Amino acid sequence: MSVISVGQAVVLGAVEGVTEFLPVSSTGHLKIVEGLMSIPVDDDAVVGFSAVIQVGAIAAVFVYFFKDIVRIVSAWGRGLVNKEERYHHDYKFAWWVIAATVPIVIVGLAAKPLIEGPLASLWVVAGSLIVGSGVMWAADQMGRHKRGEDDTTFKDAMLVGSSQILALLFPGFSRSGATMSTALILDLDRVAATRLSFFLGIPALTGAGIYELKDALGAGVGLAPLAVGTIVSFVVAYGSIAWLLKFVAKHSFNAFVIYRIVIGVLLFGLLATGTLNS
């Protein structure tokens, strides 16, 4: 019998879709909801399930940014065979995304026992939600929001890409929150920071989902819950992406900061009273 039912997969897929690209920590929210549904958050199958349904959210990015992705990949392909094309920003950007993914892959493989063990604790999630809120607020205040997407450099991509490690090691910190905060500190505007976060998430999250698929299936998650969770994640994530890009064009990240603090404090309370097990 699957450790996650189809009904639970629907709920978790919706949570993943809503939160994957919002700077509120999809991993943190998944662990909280799993805990509320009495699903063991540190079970190998559950960890694998969470990684696999991220592929649905990433698929939404592919669909939403299809024209941009085709443009970047085409420029990369032309540059491989034509030296003159290598001066094009899209060609360089493609290589930057690849290079910026290397740090999180190395840390992810090296620290896998910690990530799936002690660091999977809901206490870590609660603390990371609150600490990450402070980082996000400071970044939004410090950033001058004067640079657009075309102004990004290799240094920007590497620093923003490497910041994904924070979310990997401290679930609750938020991959989107870490990358957007870093981009804001580098003076990218909010829309450019958000779009860069999306593009840098494609290889990292896709790779994690594929890597964990065998563990999820082999450790006790049925194919039906995996498929349902991934499909629901895709549909909900598409709407979440569209909403977020419109939101950040006109608003600061303060609403997310406040929300994260509230959720973090609430989670500490639930853990302290024994309502949730860590």
**What are the tens digits of pLDDT across the range 209-233?**
777 776 666 656 788 888 999 999 9
User: Could you tell me how many residues make up the chain?
Assistant: 278
Q: What is the b/e burial string over 172-211, where b = at least 16 CB atoms within 10 angstroms of the residue's CB?
A: bbbbbbbbbbbbbbbbbbbbbbbbbbbbbbbbbbbbbbeb
Give the model's pLDDT for residue 207. Answer: 82
Which stretches in the chain have pLDDT values below 70?
1-2, 42, 214-220
Would you say 138 and 179 are in contact if contact means Cβ atoms under 8 Å apart? no
| pLDDT tens for each residue of 56-75 | 998 999 999 999 999 999 99
Query: Which sign, positive or negative, has the C-alpha torsion 69, 90, 52, 248?
Result: negative
d(CA 182, CA 139): 7
The single residue listed with the structure tokens 């189809």 is 6
For the whole prediction, is pTM greater than 0.85? yes
